[in-house]
Amino acid sequence: MNYKAKLTSPNPVAIRKGQTETHAPDHDHVWKPVTCTVCQAEFFIGPNRIYGSSSTEGECAAELQALLADDHQHDRTHHDSSNLRG
């Protein structure tokens, strides 16, 4: 697949399920998917294969949920990918 963007980060990332614009080849998306409570969009989250994460899966999921809620609160569409603090 030819992606338009490559997300590189030492931090965990979130990638929207089914999108074809961005990929994060340096990350394992081994944690369970996170679903937006408002629109049901699904995101895969996972740590960098080399650096791991200082945050737990639950902390990263909560951070993503907060970002998704903020998008809805400000009438923004969700990004295809997000760099988490992890």
What confidence score (pLDDT) does residue 36 get? 98
In sequence order, what are the residues at sequence separation of 6 or more whose Cβ sits closer than 8 angstroms to the Cβ of residue 21? 3, 4, 5, 80
pLDDT of residue 30: 79
Residue 33: is its pLDDT beyond 80? Answer: yes
54, pLDDT greater than 90 = yes
Distance CA 13, CA 58 (A): 13
The per-residue pLDDT for 86 is: 73
* Mean pLDDT over each residue of the chain, to the nearest integer: 94
Residue type, 5: A
- Number of neighbouring beta carbons within 10 Å of residue 72: 14
pLDDT at 80 over 80: yes
Question: Encoding tokens for residue 35?
Answer: 């679903």
